[in-house]
Amino acid sequence: MARSRTRKRRLLWRVGSVIALMALVAAIAGAIYVIHLDRLVTQQFEGRRWTLPARVYAAPLELYVGLALPAQDIEKELQRLEYRGVDKPAHSGEYRRQGVRINVVLRAARFADETRAAQALSITTEGGAVTALRDSAGADVPIVRLEPLLIGSVFPIHGEDRIILAPEDVPSLLPQALKAVEDRNFDSHHGVDFSAILRAVWANLKAGGIAQGGSTLTQQLVKSYFLDSRQTMGRKLREAVMAMALERRFTKADLMNAYINEIFLGQDGQRAVHGFGLASQFYFGKPVGELDTAEIALLVGLARGPSYYDPRRRPERALNRRNLVLSILSERHVVTTDEARKAAARSLGVMTRTAAGYYPAYLDFVRRTLRRDYKEEDLTEAGLRIFTSLDPRAQELAEQTLERELTRLDRVHKPKPGKDPLEGSIVVTTPQSGDVIAIVGGRRVGYSGFNRALDAARPMGSLVKPFIYLTALETGRYNAATIVNDAPVEIELARNKIWKPENYTKQTYGPVPLVRALAESLNLATVTVGVEIGVPKVAKTLQRFGLQRKPTEVPALLLGSLDATPLEVAQLYNSLANGGFRAPLRAVRAVISAEGKPLRAFPLEVTQVAEADAVYQLDRMMVQVMQRGTGRAAYSTLPPDLVVAGKSGTSSDLRDSWFAGFSGGHVAVVWMGYDDNRPTGLTGSSGALPAWSRVMAGLGTNSWSAPMPETLREVSIEYATGLAGEPSCAEDLIAVAVPASAELAVKPECDGHSLDNIAHRAGEWLRDIIH
C-alpha cells in the first residue's frame, strides 16, 4: 500500500514537473513572442512611412483686371473648388455673390512656385470682364490665383490614398469626438480597456448580436496598420499585445494623430480613402480645418463602418448614425445641447460625386510623362505634388461637347444592335506653350480604360494634306495661286499594280489654284503635287513637325494612309499654329516634394522646323478651308468674326472622321469612329467638325492673326481660277499671301488695270533703279 502511494506521488511529481516545464516553456515562448511583437511594433511604427500618392493639380485660374470672365463663371470656378456661398464670408472657403460683385475668402494654397496665405478678396466685373480686384483693406490687387483644383492621385496598386494631417491641422473637436464615441478611456488605459470589453459583451448579449465594440482606438490603429481583418482568437490576442506595446512606447498624442491619418473611411472605386484629411475632401470637398460640428460627427460615425454607413448609398442610416454621435457628444459635454440640436437638424451635406470628378485620360498622359523621370514608387509613395496644364473649364467643355455630339450622331446613324457605340476623342492645346489643356479619351469620360487620345492610332486621311502643300510651298515653285491640274492620276506600284485615286465626289475639276485644291480637299490635285515634290520630302516634313516615327514612303501617304493618334495630330497642328516652331506637347509644368521643395520644372522647349513665310502662306490657305471649303459649316456655330484655320480628314470607306484646326490661342483635334474599325458613314465635316466648332466657340478664343513676313505680299485672286484681279473686273475674290517676287497670271479683263499688278510692276521698277 505504501509502495503504491509512493508510485502515485512519483507519477504526480513527474506529471507536475512536465506541466511546470511546459508552462515554463510556454511562458518563455510567450515572453519571446511579446518581445518580438514589441520590437516589431516599435520598429515599424517609429519608421512608419505612409504611402503618399502623388497628387495631380490643374492649372490655377489667374484673375486680373481685363480678364474676360463674367461673375457667373467666376462663381462656377469657386463652386468647382467647393467654396460655400454664405451671407457674410468670414472663413476660408466662403464667398458671396451680389450681382457683378463677389466677396470671397480664398484658402491658403500651395502653388508650384510659392505658397499663399488665406486672403479676403473683392472681385468686381462689368460687361463680362473683371474690372477690379481689391483686398480686405480696399487696395488694388494686380493679379491673384485661385488654388489649383485637385484632379487626381497616382496611388499604388493596393489603392490606399490619404492626406496626411499634422496635429496642428486637426480641429480640436475631432480627437475629442473620437474619444467620446470610440474610446472614452483613451487618456487613461494602456492599450486595452477591459471595462469597455465587459460593457460591449453585456450590450451584445442584451441585443442578441454585435451592438457595440470593445476595441480601443489603439487596437483599431493596430488592426488597420499591422493586421488583417480575420476575427480569430489568435489575431485578437496579438492585437491586444501590440496595442499595449504601442501605448508603452508612444505618447497618446502621437497615437491619436496616427489614428486620424490611418483609419479607413470609405471607398472611391479602386481608391481606398484613409484618414480624416482625405475623407473630408472626399465627402465634403474641403479641408478638415473647415469642417463644422455636423460634418465632424458624420466622419466620426463612419469610423464604425464606412460601407454600412455610406452617406451616399445609405443616407438614412448615415443620418441616424451622425445624430447618435451628436447625442453622445452632447451627453459627454463635448458640445453644448443647443449646438448638437442645430447640427442634428441639418442635412448630411455630402457633395454629389460624379464619375467625372477625376480625369483619367488626362492623368494617363501625366503618368506617361512622369514615368520617364520618376520611379513608380516615387509616384505612389513619396507624396509628390504634380502641377499640370489642365484647364478645368476647357476639359468640361470638351467632355460635354463630345458626349452631346456622339449622342446626336447615334440618333441619326443608329448603331447596329450588339455593336459598340460610336466613339470619339478630343485634344485641346495652346500653341505658343505646347500646353495640353484638355484630353477626352472616349465618351465615358470619367472612367479609366482605353485612352483613344493617346492610343487609338487611326488613318489621318486628309489631315496630312497641309503638310504636302507646305512642302510644296517650301520649294519656291508653288504659291497659293499656282495652278495645279485636278485630273485622273495613275501611279504604277510594285508587282505591276496600278493605283488610281479618286476625289471624294468621284468628279474631276481641271486646273485649279493651290488654295482651292486644299480648301476643297481635292485628292487628284494633291497627289499630283505630292508626286512632283516627292513622297520622301513629305515624310520628312511630318517628322520635322513632330511625328515620332518615320512614315512609310508610299504614294498612299499623300492621301493619309498614315496612322496617328489624336495627340500626335495635335502635335503636328500645334506646330502649324505656332508659325513653324515646334513646342513638344506637355501636361506637366512642375513637380515639388511633399515638403514643398521644387524637384523639377518642365520648361518650354521650342525648335524652329520651317520658315515663317512658308507656314504663313499655308495658314492663310487653311483659313480658306474654313471660309470656302470643307470647314465652312463651322460658321453656323462660330462667331462670324472669329478667324480660324483648319482641315477635315476622312479615311477610306468613311471609317474615321477627323477635324483639326486652330485659332489665335488654341488648337483642337477631334476624332470619331468605331473601335472595331467599321464604317461610320461620316466625313470629317459631318462628324468631327460640329464637335470641333462647339469646342472652339466655347473656349472664348481669339482670332488667328499672325503678322505677315516682309518677304510676302497680299494679293487678290479669283477663288475658282487663281487669276489675279480687282472687284471691278473679277468675281469671287479671296486674299492670299504669296512671295513678293511671285509673278501671277492676271485675268485678261484686269490686265494693265489691276492695282496689285501695277504695284508689283512699280516695285520691280524701283528695285531695278536701286540696283
Taking a C-beta distance cutoff of 8 angstroms, is the pair 557, 531 a contact?
Answer: no
Contact 674, 381 (CB under 8 A): no
Instruction: Find, among 681, 466, 663, the residue nearest to 569 by Cα.
Output: 466
- Provide the β-strand partners of residue 145: 62
Half-sphere exposure of 116 (CA within 13 A, CB side): 18
Q: Indicate the length of the chain as a whole number.
A: 771
Residues 6+ apart with CB under 8 A from 194: none
The sign one gets for the Cα dihedral 387, 389, 395, 397 is positive
Gyration radius (Cα) of the chain, Å: 35
Q: Active-site residue 327, yes or no?
A: no
In 431-492 the beta strands, taken as DSSP E runs, fall at: 435-440, 458-459, 483-486, 491-492
Catalytic residue among 330, 389, 425, 462: 462
Cβ pair 602, 586 in contact under 8 A: yes
Pairing between strand 385-388 and 264-268? unpaired
What does the alpha-carbon distance between residue 7 and residue 174 come to, in Å, rounded to a whole number? 68
Q: E strands along 136-207, which residues?
A: 143-145, 150-154, 160-162
Residue 460 backbone dihedrals phi, psi, to 5 degrees: -75, -25
Cβ-contact 215, 303 below 8 angstroms = no
Q: Name the catalytic one among 75, 147, 160, 182.
A: 182
Q: List the one residue out of 231, 221, 246, 216 whose CA is nearest residue 40.
A: 246
What does the alpha-carbon distance between residue 27 and residue 171 come to, in Å, rounded to a whole number?
A: 45
| Cα 566 from Cα 688, distance rounded (Å) | 12
403 is catalytic: no
Alpha-helical segments (H) within 184-274: 194-207, 217-225, 233-249, 252-262
**What are 47's strand-pairing partners?**
none
CB proximity list for 768: less than 8 A, separation 6 or greater: none
Kindly state the cell numbers that stand for 517: 485644291
Strand-strand pairing, 129-135 and 423-430: unpaired
CA gap 575, 546 in Å, rounded = 8
Find the helix or strand (DSSP H, E) in which 330 lies: helix 315-331
CA distances 112 to 51, 120, 202, 439, Å, are 22, 22, 56, 22
449: left (phi over 0), alpha (psi -120 to 50) or beta: left
For the chain, the farthest-separated pair of C-alpha atoms sits apart, in whole angstroms, at 152
Residue of 693, 707, 685 whose CA lies nearest to 635: 693
- Nearest residue to 658 via CA among 506, 477, 668: 668
- Could you give the residue numbers annotated as active site? 182, 462
